[in-house]
Structure 1
């Protein structure tokens, strides 16, 4: 059974240098985390990556630039996004049966981000785009970003809402008081990242984005970034939201969720119950969750889904989402 991972990350030397030039390590602790083995695996888009894919049992990686992407860079991100996407397209062209791509967008300049998304889909054959939460000081539901989501809907491609590090004030209020290492981990990949991504989705819902763009499809990793599991509690917002539908409707109509290497059948079962098995996508969150021992394939084989739903989870749901059936 073909196995496609839809959240698999990469990095370029140029983007890494842009982060350093912008001093992002001082404001986002995850920038420093991209070092050693993790950095080497992110930078590699050739044989070493393919060997690790084979070892874990993954046939295809859908590649996306890792967090914080270009969201904290200014107008210079426009040309950088084009170069990053062109480099990624070249990597896909070298291994067309093993790699697909999600666009990197210069979100600091929304009109250019929309234009780049269109170029990536029409010219480069990309399957959608990945966004890393806030861009500068603006949340994703800011009206300035509406043309980006409008373009995605018009193109019929999904937008992946990826975690990013919360603001410093949030980190100090909720994720501090331990050692610097623990504070940083707690605020990012330990927990803070995931609240942030889930909140971005809810902000899009509450802002009426999916009422205005009913065919827009977004993806959340890590089985829905926590908020998915509070659907019963979130239903209380229906009394005051003024939306056209209950929040649960947007979860079943506009949201896909993926594993991100969290290989636990009970999480899969809960996600399937909320969004439906036809909205489950596979991913390993390479290289962050990479584990040896044919790990991805083992989870697929023992995930507990019926055979038809298993095929959808493995590849069919993604192929339908991107119009590749």
Structure 2
């Protein structure tokens, strides 16, 4: 069995309803230097472009990419039995009203998929009573398998105390968090000049900062059930078990008493592997060796590139790792963590 734990979804109504499109565009926070435009792409499709800062495109959403029939055909071609749906990066700024609307539409998509799709809830990160009520509804009534969050909101990463009430509720509900990394971290001036530097390396830097802050903050001492699944296997994954936990103090320069933090990495942090394919086999084999196959979950970021979905399972099968480890990556870890 193959499970893709990172398939993007947006309602097609977003491209056909002017009211919903305007509501979506109004939610994008220009005061935080994020800009959104709706236009017609070169091939005639409707497109949303998300820029941060203005003039630096980081996310693109195209009409037709999220149609149920198309996605089911592509899943069948890829021999993928089940996928976990999430929004493509825009969870960072959605209002509660939009979250409710998207959650209902996602739940309907899951129903229409006849067992091939599951979904992750989306809620605003500042957890007042209404937000917590919506989160609970998504898990207990809509049967969503986890929660999707952005790696940071504005200039605040998830270890910030302002997010603790939401994370505490997620911990109590005992569902996982999928953490989506944006193309740029909170400080990004040096990344702006070059597109690939911003969109590719920017995600890596964002993940390294996010994971590190979660580990060193001690938040998992308070939230022991919390499982954070970080997207795209970016960042310096090699550093999490080596550079951040030195065994030599460097004549007192480094803290080597990191056993508790290492336990957090082993128990609370997982990685979804989409965007690892373009890096090549050697890098993913290195990640398996460093992080362990039981901490890596297969995902494709479909429909960003169809080939990442259709060729992804073959790519994992080509790795020089055991058959048991391949099965963990392709389905076993997702089954266990998402309770599929």
Return closer, same or farther for 1:240/1:301 CA change in 2, 3 Å cut-off.
Answer: closer
Which of residues 86, 93, 98 in structure 2 aligns to 1:72?
93
1-side partners of 2:322 and 2:89: how far apart?
Answer: 34
Residues 302 and 309 of structure 2 are in contact (CA less than 8 Å); yes or no, is this contact kept in structure 1?
Answer: no
Q: CA RMSD in A?
A: 2.9
Return closer, same or farther for 1:9/1:166 CA change in 2, 3 Å cut-off.
Answer: same
CA apart distance, 1:96:
3.2
Query: Larger relative contact order (C-alpha < 8 A, sep ≥ 6)?
Result: 1
Q: Deviations over 1:265-290 (max 9, x none)?
A: 32332222233222221111112243
Residue equivalent to 2:119: 101
Which of residues 8, 20, 43 in structure 1 aligns to 2:25?
20
SS in 1 for 2:154: coil
Which of residues 5, 24, 39 in structure 1 aligns to 2:62?
39
With normalisation by structure 1, the TM-score equals 0.83
Residue equivalent to 1:190: 200
2-side partners of 1:165 and 1:265: how far apart?
Answer: 23
Q: Which runs of 5+ in 2 are unaligned?
A: 37-48, 52-56
Aligned residues: 307
Residue equivalent to 2:239: 230
SS in 2 for 1:5: strand
2-side partners of 1:60 and 1:88: how far apart?
Answer: 15
Return closer, same or farther for 1:23/1:292 CA change in 2, 3 Å cut-off.
Answer: closer
2-side partners of 1:261 and 1:290: how far apart?
Answer: 12
1-side partners of 2:128 and 2:184: how far apart?
Answer: 21
Instruction: Please give the residue correspondences for 1:214-293 in structure 2 after superposition, counting only pairs within 5 Å.
Output: 214-223=224-233, 225-231=234-240, 232-236=242-246, 245-263=259-277, 264-291=280-307
CA apart distance, 1:217:
0.7
Q: Deviations over 1:182-231 (max 9, x none)?
A: 35x532x22112311331221121211112222211111222x2132112
Residues 1:323 and 2:332 are matched in the alignment: no
Q: Which runs of 5+ in 1 are unaligned?
A: none
2-side partners of 1:230 and 1:23: how far apart?
Answer: 34
- Which structure has the highest helix share of the two? 1
Residue equivalent to 1:57: 79
Residues 259 and 282 of structure 1 are in contact (CA less than 8 Å); yes or no, is this contact kept in structure 2?
Answer: yes
CA apart distance, 1:108:
4.2
- Which structure has the highest strand share of the two? 2
With normalisation by structure 2, the TM-score equals 0.80
